[in-house]
């Protein structure tokens, strides 16, 4: 058998680190302390150096308390850095795909907007998260949501089958972001839209920090600069690419981990050309 290249092994290692963190976060409570990787981050838990995901600060990140009150218990693990369902107006009857759906928060919010004639698919590479999301869907009575196990670089979704692709603080974790955007382009119907909340870098991140598995798996050092995000989306075929930074006047304690690397939250939008 031919040996894997160094780059491929490195990518596999990154995915394993991320999967291990999320396996812990999927456990009861969803705190960073439940993971064997305990570095605080936007991808779970609080702490002085944690990142964008903290359930206590969900409303400022784009969720209203009224929205959160409608969700099944356990759907909000505080892992996001925005609210992708608020970036664009979802319409009744649309098909929506969530990349890295976690415990299901954005899928459930999207499901309410697209209604019973619409469908929502959530894809996550961590079996424990998929199990948790499916249980949350059962508890909440969501019949138009389907959670699937898979990597966002290799989506288990058919060509041109969805109207909207959303994602929340996940694409930064993928080793091959260009592949993620190409896959999003593939599954979108002509004229379909991409609406992503993610973290981006305001300046270059050092090779040393990018190689740090804890920084990468905590939604920090895997962030790309705005110009890189735009380039990858354009190369994937998208038009009307927009990246809007959300830089707070005062960095809260929950964001200091990202801020030290020059990483901030952003809303990213793009459109697949019409046929």
Integer-rounded Cα radius of gyration of the chain: 17
Residue with tokens 């969900």: 58
Domains held by the chain: number: 1
Residue carrying the six token digits 């046929």: 275
Bigger pLDDT: 209 or 233?
233
Q: Is residue 104 part of a domain?
A: yes
d(CA 43, CA 26): 11
How many angstroms separate the CA atoms of 101 and 85, rounded? 12
- Separation between Cα atoms, residue 85 and residue 110, nearest integer Å: 6
Exposure of 249 by Cβ count < 10 A (0-12 exposed, 13-18 middle, 19+ buried)? exposed
* Rounded Cα distance, 140 and 59, in Å: 21
The reply to whether 120 falls in a domain is: yes
Q: What is the CATH number of the domain that holds 40?
A: 3.40.50.150
> Dihedral sign, CA of 142, 143, 145, 148?
positive
- Residue 1 located in a structural domain: no
For residue 51, the model assigns a pLDDT of 42
Per the prediction, the chain carries an average pLDDT of: 83
Burial class (CB in 10 A: 0-12, 13-18, 19+), 5: exposed
Partners of 201 in the β-ladder: 225, 263
Residue 172 has pLDDT above 60, yes or no: yes
Cβ contacts of residue 110 below 8 Å, gap of 6+? Answer: 85, 90, 96, 98, 120, 164, 166
pLDDT at 115: 96
Q: Is 269 in contact with 195 (CB distance < 8 Å)? A: yes
Strand arrangement, sheet containing 188-201: 145-149, 119-124, 95-99, 162-168, 188-201, 263-271, 239-246
- 111-146 burial by CB neighbour count: b if 16+ within 10 A, else e? bbbbeeebbbbbbbbbebbbebbbbbbeebebebbb
Does residue 47 lie in a domain region? yes
Tens of pLDDT, residue by residue over 139-167, are 999 999 999 999 999 999 999 999 999 99
- Average pLDDT of span 104-127: 96
- Cα 168 to Cα 156: distance, rounded to the nearest angstrom: 19
Mean pLDDT of 6-22: 74
For residue 127, what pLDDT is reported? 94
Whether residue 53 is predicted with pLDDT greater than 80 in this model: the reply is: no
Looking at residue 64, its pLDDT comes to 82
Q: What is the pLDDT of residue 255?
A: 60
Check residue 46 and give its pLDDT.
37
Nearest to 50 by CA among 79, 86, 19: 79
Q: pLDDT class for 188, splitting at 50, 70, 90?
A: very high
Provide the residue range defining the domain that includes 79: 6-271
Q: Answer yes or no: are the C-beta atoms of 42 and 258 closer than 8 Å.
A: yes
Percent of the chain with pLDDT over 90: 56
């Amino acid at each position: 058998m031919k040996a894997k290249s160094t780059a491929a092994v490195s990518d596999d290692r990154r995915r394993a680190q991320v999967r291990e963190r999320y396996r812990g976060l999927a456990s009861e409570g969803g705190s960073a302390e439940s993971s064997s990787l305990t570095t605080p981050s936007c991808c779970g838990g609080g702490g002085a150096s944690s990142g964008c995901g903290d359930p206590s600060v969900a409303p400022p990140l784009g969720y209203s308390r009224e929205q959160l009150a409608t969700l099944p218990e356990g759907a909000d693990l505080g892992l996001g850095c925005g609210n992708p369902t608020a970036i664009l107006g979802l319409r009744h009857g649309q098909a929506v795909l969530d990349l890295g759906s976690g415990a299901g928060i954005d899928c459930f919010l999207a499901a309410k907007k697209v209604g019973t004639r619409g469908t929502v698919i959530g894809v996550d590479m961590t079996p424990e998260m998929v199990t948790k999301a499916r249980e949350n869907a059962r508890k909440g009575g969501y019949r138009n949501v389907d959670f699937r196990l898979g990597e966002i670089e290799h989506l288990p979704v058919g060509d041109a089958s969805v109207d909207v692709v959303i994602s929340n603080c996940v694409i930064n974790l993928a080793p091959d972001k260009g592949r993620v955007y190409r896959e999003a382009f593939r599954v979108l119907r002509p004229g379909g839209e991409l609406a992503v909340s993610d973290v981006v870098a305001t300046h270059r991140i050092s090779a040393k920090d990018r190689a740090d598995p804890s920084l990468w798996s905590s939604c920090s050092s895997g962030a790309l600069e705005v110009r890189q995000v735009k380039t990858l989306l354009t190369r994937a075929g998208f038009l009307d690419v927009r990246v809007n930074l959300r830089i707070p006047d005062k960095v809260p304690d929950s964001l200091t981990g990202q801020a030290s690397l020059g990483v901030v939250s952003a809303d990213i939008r793009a459109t697949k050309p019409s046929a």
